[in-house]
Amino acid sequence: MTVPAPSALDAVDVPALHRLLAARRAEMVADLVEYAERETPSDDPLLLTKGLAHLEAWLADRLGPPVERTQYEAVAHGDVVVLEYEGVGDGLTLLAHYDTVWSAGTLDSWPVRVEGDRVTGPGVFDMKAGLVQAVWAIRALRAAGTPHPPLRLVLTGDEEIGSPFSRPLIEAACADAAAVLVFEASAGGGAVKTARKGVGLFDVHVRGVESHAGLDPTAGASAIDEIARAVRTLHAATDLAEGTTVNVGLLRGGTRSNVVAGSAEASIDVRVPSLAAQDRIDALLAGLHAHDPRAAITVSGGWNRPVMERTAPIAAMYALARASAAQLGVDLPETAVGGASDGNFAAAIGLPVLDGLGAVGGGAHARHEHVSVEGMVERAAVAAGVIAAFAG
């Protein structure tokens, strides 16, 4: 896929789009507040269904009916809905998840509030403001009479738990796109994300041999001794200079203090910045072996999200976004982050991806989660410029 050069924005008046959006600032905030006041925890299918129904009604009001709508029923998770909107030029896929990490009832103790330039509340930063910005970017283009390309909006309800249901649907929805825009929140300083680490979730299982710890200790093969050795090996694989972290976050094992443990298990979170680092960790896990030949080690799990490396197409997407922001007098920064998103899936199949195009603020997954209203207006205008560039 060929990403338009920054010169494609010469025909797009981003400051005019910004003025249109600034005039509708209050409506943008109202849309975010109404959306955030509908709780959508990843583990509550009923609330997710209600939240998705609100979104679809709101989208129909703000953008009109899509030319095509496809819904995939998840049962245990939030459904995936794919909406197609007409346009000219090369089609884009827009990714937005509507689930949050916040449990049902959080709003009772932490209601959504607007205080000057700041909107606080569960999910406003990650990532409800991002979807509001995407929709208003499209509205601004239409209001200005500026063409936009065909748009495929993908709404998912399981991103915060690793996208177990939506991953293949996301990959299919991105496969024929000229580029993918991910409206996840920005990083520190408002930076867009041009690289994300890959995430691996693994379990190490040890089978030992039980025996009486006092009467016959040598008859046993301690699974806990083996898992302790494995933990040291795994933690030693962390390479902060490289950007790789291996964290054993959970340990389970044994039955009684007077029994040589017959089983043990460790749960591991791995973050890698490159495919080379991923291969190194794969080799490490494959090479784990028991110190005592009577014990056995097996590894289960896999790479939850592939690495998103800063490829030439991703760099080109950043250059386009930076040129759009420059029309507003903004020097748009970029960064690499340790967290993953659904953008990792699109990048792994070789597509140009621009991630972190959503809210400016902070506090993801924390009680101080917040977004900047001025940031919403600015980033919606920047996104509008990027979208318009693909209309030719």
In angstroms, the CA 337 to CA 316 distance is: 18
> In 3D, which of 281, 287, 335 has the Cα closest to residue 303?
281
Active site (annotated) includes residue 37:
no
Q: At what angle do helices 45-63 and 129-144 cross, to 10 degrees?
A: 10
Strand, helix or coil for residue 52: helix
- What token pair was written down for 64? 């009109």
Which residue out of 31, 90, 159, 226 is catalytically annotated? 159
> In 3D, which of 10, 160, 9, 169 has the Cα closest to residue 99?
160
In angstroms, the CA 206 to CA 223 distance is: 6
Work out the number of other CB atoms within 10 angstroms of the CB of residue 243: 15
* Residue ranges with strand state E in 47-191: 68-72, 78-85, 92-97, 113-115, 118-120, 151-157, 179-182
Which residue out of 79, 90, 99, 160 is catalytically annotated? 99
In angstroms, the CA 386 to CA 392 distance is: 11
Strand, helix or coil for residue 198: strand
* Residue ranges with strand state E in the chain: 68-72, 78-85, 92-97, 113-115, 118-120, 151-157, 179-182, 192-196, 198-207, 211-212, 245-253, 259-260, 263-272, 296-305, 334-337, 353-354, 361-362, 370-372
For residue 186, how far is the Cα from the chain centroid? Answer: 11
> In 3D, which of 263, 260, 103, 93 has the Cα closest to residue 179?
93
Nearest-5° Cα angle at 56, 53 to 58: 110
Active site (annotated) includes residue 99:
yes
Which of the residues are catalytic?
A: 99, 159
